[in-house]
Amino acid sequence: MTQNSMHTFEIRDYLREELMPHFMCPGCGHGIALRALLWAIHELEIDKDCLAIVSGIGCSGRVGTYIDANTVHVTHGRPLAYATGLKLARPDLEVIVITGDGDCLAIGGNHLIHACRRNLNLTCIMLNNEIYGMTGGQVSPTTSQDRFTTTTPLGNHEPGFDACKLAAAAGAGLVGREITLQAPALKNLIKEGISHPGFAFLEVISDCTEIYGRKNQLGESPEMMLSQKASTRSDVYRNTVDQPFRPNAFETGVLTRNDRPEYAAAYRKHIEKKTLI
Amino acid sequence: MQGNHACALGAVAAGCRFYAGYPITPSSEVAERMSLELPKVGGTFIQMEDEIASMGAVLGASMGGVKALTATSGPGFSLKQENLGYASMTEIPCVIVNVMRGGPSTGMPTRASQADVMQARWGSHGDHPVIVLTPASVDEIFTETVRAFNLSELLRVPVVLLYDEIIGHLVETIELRKPADLALFERKWTKVAPDEYLPFAATDNGVPEMARPGDGYRTHTTGLTHGENGFPTQNPAEVDRVMRRLLGKLDRNRSLIESYEALACDDADILIVAYGITSRAARRAVKLGREQGIKVGLFRPISLWPFPQLPLVEIADSATKILVPEMNAGQLCLEIERLCSPASRVSRMNRIDGEAITPAEILARVKTLEPNR
């Protein structure tokens, strides 16, 4: 073990403290996700100089800014595309994408499908708070049915989408989900995702207390998180695995593993063989 | 060799080691050739899921320190524009090829046009710097591709290589230059100590030095308006300063970028301003016209944006008439009318049917402009 892992995790070692106070609302789950990510990075002993965080637009997109690493805040929905180029050009970098439910599933949905299909060694952390928070609380692909948002004033008539099923079906190397209430478990899941030699899609069930919670009278952050905890009932989830939409229950932890060849390694091997002929 | 293939070989000779693209007529041969050439030099080719992703991947690779290229045509060029603006804002070098076809919309994919002159300059939102180069032969595609990479690396500006379908598919003999025979400019990587480094502070030519990920700088890159330290700012004084520096980069380096050819201009009463395939018809028209005693000349801009404005103004000063033939409904003529006062001297000549403008058509039009008629 190196010296780094000997001492306990100190979040300040990984933050740009000069940027504090951060801009997240009180009760927002994104801060816990950020802490879990940095904790995982610490335990995996990843060199900050070789860590690249690529994020898109929205509340999730601003989270990466606070990390003391090579951080890139790109256009809406496109972090997976930028990360694909960066990782292919620089395999030595640990490239982690932080995205949100709108960024990743709506405007960036196509990129997610193809990132899963390619299985390039990236880790994609999707912070799912079921809402477009930054723009004022509009409905997103994962907003639960009947919930109120600023663009579903009569309640959402669409069911919330299950991104993990999409990612698994599209061939992602590892698919997992965790809630922010279980921070150590979230940290361990992120570690698994980063360590997996392929594309890892991790959904973090976050909470938007300030906009979504208030609008739907879901209580303060602790109530929202406890309600998420109550939804992690695997017996209910398993009965609905064939549905692309999430019922009011979901499973957590590593959901699927797919040991397919990693994209960059496969490309190098392929062109080496062909160029020799 | 075909024009699109010359583009690919020029890119590889310029040190390009990454290509991301999406198939679109009439540019696909650039991608096809890159998929063949890049593995030979240890580079990476990837066909992405769409044009947006292609542009994103190109910028990701360039941020990693690798010269990167993408190629497309009108509709795909539109899709690239948001990320092209990101490149302008974050000053990430990249080269984008747009092989122009008939538009708007799907238009005529296999027919030529020159209708993206304004999209190339103004296609992305907001004030943004972009360089546009327009070669007129297969050999010039090779040399201008090299120059596109040089300018992009040196000035940290996206460079658009804009040529029509005819030049792209034209087969001509070219001189294949080896990288050792080319003057190649490399990006200026900073040597400033990490704790003193400001990623967006101007250097002598207005261009900030870049830091390579992995070298200990741990910078932040954002499309949000940012200060010299790279972090978002809305402070009016700071925004004004950084935006003026960003937008002023091309003006400060005009002499490096601006390029043109002047043919038989010294005593020309009638000046033709033409680019791309149309300039080749114009060249023939000038030769035929001169043989018939008509004082006609050709000004051919190679850098479209920034436009070589002072040379044109000087050359056009003595011309009584200026003719701007273009395969569009009238785009570059707007710039010529703006520059060449009085604008009443400027005549437009446009074809929008997918066919090239012929030397005979230009010559016939020149004759109607002769002062003694």
Q: Tens digit of pLDDT for each residue in A149-197?
A: 999 999 999 999 999 999 999 999 999 999 999 999 999 999 999 999 9
Contact B62 A85 (CB under 8 A): yes
Instruction: Evaluate if residue A2 carries a pLDDT over 50.
Output: no
With a CB-CB cutoff of 8 Å, which residues 35-74 of chain A face chain B?
Answer: 48-50, 52, 54, 65, 68-74
pLDDT above 90 as % of chain A: 86
Cα–Cα distance list, A9 to A13, A22, B162 (Å):
8, 20, 53
Judge whether B212 lies within some domain.
no
Q: In the predicted model, what is the mean pLDDT of residues A131-136? A: 97
Q: Which residues of chain A have a CB within 8 Å of the CB of B64?
A: 85-86, 89-90, 93
Q: In the predicted model, what is the mean pLDDT of residues B301-325? A: 97
Structural domain tally of chain A? Answer: 1
Instruction: Evaluate if residue B373 carries a pLDDT over 90.
Output: no
What's the mean pLDDT when you consider all of chain A?
92
Report whether B113 contacts B352 (CB < 8 A).
Answer: yes
Please identify, among B150, B181, B212, the residue that sits at the C-terminal boundary of a domain: B181
What is the token pair recorded at B291? 């043989």
Instruction: Evaluate if residue B146 carries a pLDDT over 50.
Output: yes
Q: What is the DSSP secondary-structure string of A44-95? A: TT--GGGEEEEE-SSHHHHHGGGBSSEEEE-STT-HHHHHHHHHHH-TTSEE
* CATH number for B64: 3.40.50.970
Strands (E), B123-182: 131-133, 158-164
Q: Is B189 at the interface with chain A, CB within 8 A?
A: no
Judge whether B363 lies within some domain.
yes
Judge whether B99 lies within some domain.
yes
Report the candidate in B284, B316, B8, B329 with the shortest Cα–Cα distance to residue B141: B8
Q: How much is the pLDDT for A3?
A: 46
Residues B64, A258: Cα–Cα separation, whole Å:
28
Please identify, among B181, B208, B231, the residue that sits at the C-terminal boundary of a domain: B181
Residue B270 phi, psi (nearest 5): -115, 125
| Residue A192: domain span | 3-276
Q: Which residues of chain B have a CB within 8 Å of the CB of A98?
A: none
Report the candidate in B60, B110, B37 with the shortest Cα–Cα distance to residue B355: B110
* CATH number for B293: 3.40.50.920
Which residue in B has a C-alpha nearest to residue A108's C-alpha?
B53
First to last CA, chain B: 44
Instruction: Report residue B135's pLDDT band, with 50, 70 and 90 as the boundaries.
Output: very high
Which residue in A has a C-alpha nearest to residue B43's C-alpha?
A89
**A231-245, B26-40, B217-231: range with lowest mean pLDDT:** A231-245
pLDDT tens per residue, range B263-291: 999 999 999 999 999 999 999 999 999 99
Same domain for B283 and B167, yes or no, is: no
Return the residue in A17, A49, A72, A92 with the most chain B beta carbons within 10 A, the one to mutate for interface testing.
A72
pLDDT tens per residue, range B200-210: 999 989 999 99
Judge whether B111 lies within some domain.
yes
The helix (H) or strand (E) run that includes residue A23 is none
With a CB-CB cutoff of 8 Å, which residues 116-175 of chain A face chain B?
Answer: none
With a CB-CB cutoff of 8 Å, which residues 3-32 of chain A face chain B?
Answer: 16, 19
Instruction: Evaluate if residue A58 carries a pLDDT over 50.
Output: yes
Q: Is A271 at the interface with chain B, CB within 8 A?
A: yes
ipTM: 0.97
Residues A221, A201: Cα–Cα separation, whole Å:
25
Return the residue in A90, A94, A98 with the most chain B beta carbons within 10 A, the one to mutate for interface testing.
A90
Contact A110 B49 (CB under 8 A): yes
User: Which of A82, A88, A111 comes nearest B44 by C-beta?
Assistant: A88
Q: Is B194 at the interface with chain A, CB within 8 A?
A: no
User: Which of B46, B57, B217 comes nearest A82 by C-beta?
Assistant: B57
Return the residue in B47, B63, B80, B86 with the most chain A beta carbons within 10 A, the one to mutate for interface testing.
B63
With a CB-CB cutoff of 8 Å, which residues 156-185 of chain B face chain A?
Answer: none
Q: How much is the pLDDT for A231?
A: 85
pLDDT above 70 as % of chain B: 99
**A71-75, B16-20, B164-168, B177-181: range with lowest mean pLDDT:** B177-181
Structural domain tally of chain B? Answer: 2
What's the mean pLDDT when you consider all of chain B?
97
| Residue B141: domain span | 3-181
Instruction: Evaluate if residue B194 carries a pLDDT over 70.
Output: yes
HSE at residue B364, side-chain half, CA atoms within 13 A, is 6
The partner residues of A100 in beta bridges, in order of sequence, read: A127
Q: How much is the pLDDT for B134?
A: 98
Instruction: Evaluate if residue B53 carries a pLDDT over 80.
Output: yes
Instruction: Evaluate if residue A74 carries a pLDDT over 90.
Output: yes
Q: Is B64 at the interface with chain A, CB within 8 A?
A: yes
Please identify, among B148, B181, B214, the residue that sits at the C-terminal boundary of a domain: B181
Judge whether B235 lies within some domain.
no
Contact B59 A74 (CB under 8 A): yes
* CATH number for A108: 3.40.50.970
Contact B59 A73 (CB under 8 A): no
**A78-92, A216-230, B238-252: range with lowest mean pLDDT:** A216-230
Cβ pairs A/B, distance under 8 A: 132
Residue with tokens 């002023």: B248
Q: How much is the pLDDT for A163?
A: 95
Q: In the predicted model, what is the mean pLDDT of residues B328-349? A: 97
Instruction: Report residue A7's pLDDT band, with 50, 70 and 90 as the boundaries.
Output: confident
Q: Which residues of chain B have a CB within 8 Å of the CB of A75?
A: 56, 82-83, 86, 223
Instruction: Evaluate if residue B23 carries a pLDDT over 70.
Output: yes
Question: What pTM value is reported for the model?
Answer: 0.96
Which contacts of A221-224 are long-range, i.e. CB under 8 A and separated by 24 or more positions? A221/A26, A221/A27, A221/A28, A221/A29, A224/A27
